[in-house]
Structure formats: C-alpha cells, structure tokens
Chain A
Amino acid sequence: MANLKSLEAKFQESIDQEIKIEPKDWMPEKYRQTLIRQISQHAHSEIVGMLPEGNWITRAPTLRRKVGLLAKIQDEAGHGLYLYSAAETLGIERDELVQQLNTGKAKYSSIFNYPTLTWADIGAVGWLVDGAAIMNQVMLTRTSYGPYARAMVRICKEESFHQRQGYEILLTLSRGSEGQKRMLQDAVNRFWWPSLMMFGPSDAESTHTAQATKWKIKRKSNDELRQQFVDICVDQARILNITLPDPDLKWNEERGHYDFGEIDWDEFWNVVKGNGPCNKQRLDARIKAYEDGAWVREAAMAYAEKQAKRKAKTAQVA
C-alpha cells in the first residue's frame, strides 16, 4: 500500500518532470488548499474587477468606446467563470466560494478597491491593471495544475485586447486637448503605484513563495514580474508623453533594467486588510447582486424542475 511519503515523492517527481497535475490525481492536501484559495481569489478578482469599469459604461464618450468597454467587462465575467470552473475541480462548490467572497473570508486583488474617477481611469485600468495581470497570467500558463494552466491560456488570448483598448483610450487623450492630457496624467498618477502593488509583497516578505515555487504553482517571483512590468511600461509611457510618478525611475546599465522607487507598503497592507477607498462599496455591490438575484436563481430552478416533470408525465402517457 502506498504510504504518504511515497505519494508525496511521486507527486513531486511529476512536478519536477513538468507533468501536469489533473483533478483526479493524488495531491498533498496543502497543494489542493493553496490552489483552491489562489484560483478562487483570482476568480473573485475578475468578478469584482467588473465593478470599477461598469461605473463608466453609461458615460463612455463614443460608441466605439462603449462597445469595447462592454466587451471587456463581459470577458471579465467569463474569466471569473473559467476560474470558478477550475477551482471547482478541486472539490469545492460554487455557493461556498461565493460565500467566502461575500463574507470577506476570501480576498480579491486589491487594485479593485480603488475608484475610477474619470474616463482616463478606464484607459489606465486597461493599460496598467490589465497589463500587470497579463504579465502574471502569461507566467501562470505554465502553472502545474492542468485546469488552472488551461484557463490561463484562454484568458491570455482574450486579455490582449483589454490592454490595447485601454492604451488606445490613453493615446487618444494624449493627442487631445490640454484638459484631456491633464486628465491622462492624473489617472496615471493614481494608478501607477497600485498597479505595481498588484504583484504582491517583495520576495523577501512573501511567505508562500518558496512552497509555491517548489510545487511550480508559481513560475516567476513577485519581484521578477514587477521588474518586467516596469521595464515594459517605461517605453509605453514615453509614447503617451506622460511621466510615471516615480522620481527614482532610472535606467540601470549594469543591471539592464530600470531602477524604481520603494512601494508604500503601509498603503499596500492597509488596502489588503480592508481599508482601501472602495473595499466596502465593492463587497456591498457583490452582496446586493447575490441577494437581489436569489429569487431569479430559485425561479429558474423551479421552472426547470416543472418542465422536467411535465416532460416525464408526457412520456408516461405516450
């Protein structure tokens, strides 16, 4: 009979040989729980992420902008669903996941606790927030758990239009009036640092990184991804004719990367703990949607059961 140690050894061997772990495979309980938490929090982030952008649907300045924004938000709903589907393969059900979000037991990416105050914010979200998400998600296409990796491949294909949609908004503003250029710079000033925070605590402060790396849940570290993101954004910012709000941003010839300033970790932890500008609004919106929709879910189920009974009765009589 296989004992725990030999199961763990075989599991680690699969990981080391880049053999994906699939739902019915034996896995350490901690691997399962870590993934349930990570995948579901990723899913919650997509769903909550619809809210700051939904704020501007009725005020998109043109039809092109409106259809693009609607399509993007619809994609985020879809991404949430792919991820809930992946999480559910690990032995947890949807209603429990939703409860975890609504009770504050589960977290979601803290970037979505910031408000979208102007139309330029919608562009900044597409460029910076989706940009940072893409960096992380491309890395995760190589994650060890099969359903999560496959969901990431699908998401990455869809995400690239999101970033272009945002960048195009900002390009248009950068070529506009003085007021539009100021609005663009202001949006970037407010979204730059929170976007860098999306990559999580520094590697030194990240307690879970070692195990996540050993199990190949995580393929690149927080700091690695953050550095990649900064390097790419500096050039993209130049084309927008804006300054990134970091006086310490400087090319380092020796490292071959941009040096950048220290993140305000107090702000980071404060928002994670629930004290960001919109934490309460976000959760209230999710709870309201869930409670207001209860009768629809129940009615739909009752209708389906009624139809099924009717069909069975007709079959009996025939």
Chain B
Amino acid sequence: MKNWPLWEIFIRSKKGLHHKHVGSLHATDSEMAIENARDVYTRRNEGISIWVVESDKITATKPEENPELFEPAADKIYRHPTFYKMPDDVKYI
C-alpha cells in the first residue's frame, strides 16, 4: 500500500520567534498536514503558527560538501567586531 506523502512541520511557538522544525508526518494534502500537525505537535499550546512543506520540496546541503561550500567565510575574520582595535576610552562602539 502506498504511503501518504511525507511533510516536514515547522512551528512558531510565539510571536517574535522563528518557526522551528519539529519533525515530520504523513498526510494526503496540505490541509490534512496542518490538521495532523496541530494534533501531533501542539497538544500543549506549543504553537501559534504552523508551516507544512512536502519533504521532497526541501533541498538540503550535503555534509560532505561543507568544507568547500562554507570555505569563503573561513578566513574573513574582518567580519567580526573584534578584528577592529578600539582605544579604551571610546564609548558606545
């Protein structure tokens, strides 16, 4: 028997916070996915907003490609405030 499609679920627990990935579930369509997510992941008022995305719509990086993919940031320490020397008496900077 065919499985229902798999959906990844993201919940915003309260205003001001990002949606967070909480897991996955099977549903026939996005409406059912939202209702199932409400039942599975918000039984204790854990969410005020739900996003559902079909799992196969998510593109993810491959960990083995990380060194090359993230290499550009590795030697750019001048992006950090500590790279810049401030005299002790300069305030609020």
Chains A and B bind each other: yes
Interface residues of A (CB under 8 A from B): 22, 24-26, 74-75, 78, 81-82, 85-86, 88-89, 93-95, 147, 151, 154, 158, 294, 297-298, 300-301, 303-304, 307-308
Interface residues of B (CB under 8 A from A): 1-4, 6, 22-26, 28-29, 32, 39-40, 43-44, 60, 62-64
When chains A and B are docked, how far (Å) is the Cα of A300 from the Cα of B3? 12
B23 to chain A: which residues have CB within 8 Å? 81-82, 85-86, 147, 151
When chains A and B are docked, how far (Å) is the Cα of A74 from the Cα of B39? 9
When chains A and B are docked, how far (Å) is the Cα of A52 from the Cα of B42? 25
A95→B6 contact, CB < 8 A: no
Nearest residue, chain B, Cβ from A302: B28
A74 to chain B: which residues have CB within 8 Å? 43
Among A75, A151, A301, A303, which residue has its beta carbon within 8 angstroms of that of B43? A75
Among A89, A95, A147, A307, which residue has its beta carbon within 8 angstroms of that of B29? A307
Among A22, A89, A301, which residue has its beta carbon within 8 angstroms of that of B28? A301
Nearest residue, chain B, Cβ from A161: B44
A94→B3 contact, CB < 8 A: yes
**Given A78-B40, A93-B3, A94-B3: A85 touches B25 (CB 8 Å cut-off):** yes
B22 to chain A, nearest CB (A): 8
B1 to chain A: which residues have CB within 8 Å? 95, 294, 297-298
When chains A and B are docked, how far (Å) is the Cα of A307 from the Cα of B32? 12
A85→B29 contact, CB < 8 A: no
A301→B4 contact, CB < 8 A: yes
8 A-B pairs whose Cβ atoms sit less than 8 Å apart in the complex? A24-B60, A81-B23, A81-B25, A88-B24, A93-B3, A94-B26, A147-B23, A151-B23
A107 to chain B, nearest CB (A): 22
A85→B24 contact, CB < 8 A: yes
**Given A25-B63, A151-B23: A303 touches B3 (CB 8 Å cut-off):** no
A81→B40 contact, CB < 8 A: yes
B4→A297 contact, CB < 8 A: yes
